[in-house]
Structures are given as C-alpha cells and as structure tokens.
C-alpha cells in the first residue's frame, strides 16, 4: 500500500488522515502529546489570583499543556499543541464559513453535507440554557441583534454546563478531532522541521523527536500543522508564504452582574452576526486569570465576546507572530464594544463597571491562500506535486467565524483529490 504522512492532528490533519486511511498507510506526525484538560479545579486556581502568581498568560501551559500562548504587545495568540490540535480547546462551534472560498469558485456543498451526517452537530441545546443565557438572548432580540442558536459539536445530554469548553471538556460531551483517529498511527513528540524536495516531489520529512533527528519518506505528504505551524515548515522547505496572516481577534466585554454565573454555562450558545464580527456570550478564562480587571468572583460576572474578521496582514515566523490591527479593525471592535455594553446595561450592569478582556486570538491562517486558479486542485502552485497543505493556512480570507468545520470540509476535498 502507498504511504502518506500527515503533519498535525488538528481540524485539517485528523480529517485528512481519516479520509486517506484505507487508501494509504497513514502516519500522523504530531509535535505535542495526548490531551489533558486543566489540571486543577477552577475554583481552587481562582483563589490564587490574589497572589499575583498569574502574571503572564504563557504560564497557562503549566496547568494546561495543550494550550500554547504567543504574546506580543497588541495581542495574545492562543493555539493548541497535542493530539486533536486546537480542536480540544475549541468551544465546539460548527458553522459553515465558506464565503471567501465560494468567491474564488470553491464549492464544498458535498463535504459540508457529509460532515453534517457524520458529526454530532446540533442546535438542540436551548432547553439546557441557563437563566442568564436566556436573558442575554432575549435582550439581544429586543435590540434587533438577531441572535441565533449556535450549531455545536456536542452531545447535549452529556454536557454538565460547566463552562470549561475552552480549557478541556471533562465529559467529552464536546466533540473534537481525537474522535477521528481510531486505528490511525499517530507518532507524538515529533516536530517536523522541514521537507526535502526535488524534481517537483517531496522526498524526505525531517523530524525532531527529543534529541533525535529522524527522516521519513512517503508517497504523499500533507502539511496540517495549523496556521501557526505550517508556514514555518513550508519556508524551511524552500516554499514561500505571504505575510497575509489573519487571526480573528477576540475581545470580551464584561460587567459585574450578581448571580450571572457566566462561567457555569455552555460557552457561545448563540451568535449575532454583525458586519465583520460576531457577538456571543463567552467566559474568557484567560482574562479571568491573567487580567487584573477580571479579578472578580466568577459567579457574579456576565461577559460577551466580539470576534472580528481582521485585515489579512501579518506574519508568523519561528513560532512568533507579527501582527498589528488596522484602523478599520479597531473601529469595528469599538462598534462591537458599544453594542455589547448596551446589552449588559439593559441586563442591569452599570456603565462605569463595564471592563474589557485581553485582546486575544485563536484562528491563525491565510499565509498560503488558495486562489481562483487553484479552485479545482486545492493545491498551491508553490507546492511540489505530492505535497499538500490542508489546514487554516490555505483559507483565502479571514472568517470572523469559527473555522473548524470549513477546514474539515476543505481537508475532505483535498483527501478525495489525493485518492482520486
Ligand atoms: C480557545 C479557542 C476556542 C476555539 N473555538 C472554536 C470553535 O468553537 N469552533 C471552531 O470552528 N473553531 C474554534 N477555534 C479555532 C479552531 O480550533 C482552529 O481554527 C482549528 O483547530 C485550526 O485547525 P488546523 O488544522 O488549521 O490547526 P490545529 O487544529 O491547530 O492543528 C495543528 C496541529 O499541528 C501540530 N503541529 C504544529 N506544528 C507542528 C510541527 N512542526 N510538527 C508536527 N506537528 C505540528 C499541532 O500540535 C496541532 O496538533 C478555537 C480556537 C481557540 C484557541
Ligand atoms: S459546558 Fe458541556 S461541552 Fe462545555 S466543557 Fe462543560 S460539559 Fe463539556
């Protein structure tokens, strides 16, 4: 049987590997290890906030090794490292976000249909909503913000409404790509550094495993190390990427609200689509621990997230991001802050008590964007024939929306092209 190497086990990698298995002998090379949720109960960890121990977001990896942070002056980048990639930290939102792909002639109807049959996607979670969630929903309806229940990768009956979705689901009620990996060979602790290419072919994949340096060969190589990992591998292999990084920045607007218990409900249960951004209820655990303004009791707090489709300009190199938001990005975020503040005030918050979270982002991508000329092949002309990229790196523009489902649809199509 022919051999395939897939680099990364997140949304793109796991789905490609699943689709290729049976046609190829598949090996996934994954830099991280098995996923473990947050090490200690939130309540215990929250008590330590007053000690000043949580002074740098990067410390979160000590408690949650799969969560990695890259900090720069304007923005904190969050990404997953380990089996399941960033999907283990996702809040389970499963939306179709393919406007940018459609605009360049890529139609993934077939793959989205398959995903809706194969995965536990549901909006049937409203009967489990808390009083605060319901109140926020009706307030946003009154304001004409048209909130809609969020499609979730979720088994609602197994959900404890604990609000931990982004720090590891304790019951696995929330689906992530680890569920695609049964029967697939996954080698953990394997950091791919570069790929030798010649005569338009990928030849050897170079891997660092601890102190060892290994090389591996395959008939097909798929790079799916995420919008943060893939550009480094490609550049080290002599393939150029463009400084068109997008990240979908997130800013939370919060206020003290007695009994709101934002941290004890399903995260992002519904969504309001605005121009260039979305608004959704969200407990921002990163700000809760690492931002002094958030050092308040979790149970007496309400919080809304703004997630922005940012301007596609920025770079990531050797694991570090260079990204500055544009004036348009800032103006759109400010508009979102005003809308969220209005929602909170209608719910009883005082204007002077409203505070903002740390600007952060978790949707890196776009540095080898697909073009209309590549719509049929989904294969960049920059790449050797047997080398594919199947992750957020190939998305042509920022989504301002959860990207997982769209990445998986792309990965499915790419696997079909490879098998075909
Ligand atoms: C807190 C948070 C919540 C989110 N919630 C949602 C949500 O609800 N819905 C949604 O659609 N999206 C959500 N996202 C975003 C979503 O998880 C990512 O966009 C998606 O997982 C990206 O898929 P990917 O395949 O591009 O990369 P990833 O899922 O990040 O996978 C990349 C994999 O490659 C591995 N890797 C990296 N470098 C190397 C290397 N050199 N060698 C070997 N392996 C390597 C990594 O360890 C990782 O496993 C969220 C993100 C965050 C941070
Ligand atoms: S709220 Fe539900 S889906 Fe989220 S972590 Fe808790 S049990 Fe899992």
* pLDDT tens digits along 392-414: 999 999 999 999 999 999 999 99
Task: Among 8, 18, 205, 412, say which to mutate for ligand 1: greatest number of ligand atoms within 8 Å of CB.
Answer: 8
Residue 418 CA to residue 26 CA, distance in Å, equals 13
What separation in Å is there between the alpha carbon of 173 and the centre of ligand 2?
A: 6
Q: Contact 181/14 with Cβ under 8 angstroms?
A: yes
Neighbour-count burial of 91, counting CB atoms closer than 10 A to its CB (0-12 exposed, 13-18 middle, 19+ buried): buried
Tell which residue, 87, 76, 65, 68, has the closest CA to residue 153: 87
Question: Is the minimum distance from the CB of 165 to ligand 2 under 6 angstroms?
Answer: yes
What separation in Å is there between the alpha carbon of 367 and the centre of ligand 1?
A: 15
Amino acid 101: pLDDT? 98
Ligand 1 atom closest to residue 84's alpha carbon, by position in its atom list: 49
What separation in Å is there between the alpha carbon of 79 and the centre of ligand 1?
A: 6
Ligand 1 atom closest to residue 14's alpha carbon, by position in its atom list: 25
- Which residues, given as ranges, of the chain have pLDDT below 70? none
Strands, DSSP E only, in 42-180? 67-71, 76-80, 121-122, 148-149, 152-153
Ligand 2 atom closest to residue 154's alpha carbon, by position in its atom list: 3
Rounded to the nearest 10°, the torsion over CA 360, 362, 368, 369 is -90
What separation in Å is there between the alpha carbon of 287 and the centre of ligand 2?
A: 19
Amino acid 47: pLDDT? 87
Ligand 2 atom closest to residue 172's alpha carbon, by position in its atom list: 8
DSSP-derived 3-state class of residue 310: coil
Amino acid 40: pLDDT? 83
Alpha helices by DSSP H, 237-378 = 285-290, 327-346
Q: Contact 246/363 with Cβ under 8 angstroms?
A: yes
What separation in Å is there between the alpha carbon of 86 and the centre of ligand 1?
A: 3
Question: Is the minimum distance from the CB of 173 to ligand 2 under 6 angstroms?
Answer: yes
């Amino acid at each position: 049987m022919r051999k395939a190497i897939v680099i990364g086990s997140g949304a793109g990698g796991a789905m490609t590997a699943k689709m290729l298995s049976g046609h190829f002998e598949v090996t996934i090379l994954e830099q991280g290890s098995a996923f473990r949720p947050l090490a200690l109960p939130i309540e215990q960890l929250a008590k330590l906030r007053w000690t000043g121990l949580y002074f740098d977001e990067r410390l979160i990896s000590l408690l949650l090794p799969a969560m990695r942070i890259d900090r720069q002056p304007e923005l904190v980048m969050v990404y997953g490292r380990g089996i399941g990639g960033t999907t283990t930290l996702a809040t389970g939102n499963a939306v179709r976000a393919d406007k940018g792909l459609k605009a360049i002639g890529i139609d993934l109807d077939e793959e989205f249909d398959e995903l809706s049959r194969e995965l536990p996607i549901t909006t049937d979670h409203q009967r489990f909503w808390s009083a605060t969630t319901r109140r926020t929903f009706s307030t946003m309806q009154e304001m004409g913000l048209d909130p809609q229940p969020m499609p979730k990768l979720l088994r609602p009956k197994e959900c404890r409404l604990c609000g931990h979705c982004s720090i590891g689901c304790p019951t696995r009620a929330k689906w992530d790509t680890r569920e695609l990996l049964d029967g697939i060979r996954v080698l953990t602790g394997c950091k791919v550094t570069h790929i030798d290419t010649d005569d338009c072919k990928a030849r050897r994949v170079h891997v660092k495993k601890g102190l060892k340096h290994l090389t591996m060969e395959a008939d097909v190589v798929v790079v799916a190390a995420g919008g943060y990992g893939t550009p480094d591998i490609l550049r080290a292999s002599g393939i150029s990427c463009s400084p068109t990084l997008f990240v979908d920045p997130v800013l939370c607007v919060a206020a003290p609200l007695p009994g709101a218990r934002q941290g004890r409900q399903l995260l992002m249960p519904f969504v309001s689509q605005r121009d260039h951004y979305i608004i959704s209820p969200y407990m921002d655990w990163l700000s809760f621990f690492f931002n002094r303004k958030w050092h308040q009791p979790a149970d007496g707090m309400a919080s809304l997230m703004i997630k922005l489709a940012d301007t596609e300009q920025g770079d990531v190199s050797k694991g570090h991001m260079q990204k500055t938001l544009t004036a348009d990005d800032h103006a759109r975020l400010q508009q979102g802050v005003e809308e969220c503040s209005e929602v909170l005030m209608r719910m009883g918050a005082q204007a002077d008590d409203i505070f903002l979270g740390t600007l952060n982002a978790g949707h890196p991508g776009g540095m080898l964007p697909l073009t209309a000329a590549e719509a049929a092949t989904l294969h960049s002309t920059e790449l050797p024939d047997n080398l594919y990229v199947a992750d957020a790196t190939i998305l042509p523009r920022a989504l301002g929306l959860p990207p997982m489902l769209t990445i998986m649809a792309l990965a499915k199509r790419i696997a079909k092209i490879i098998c075909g």
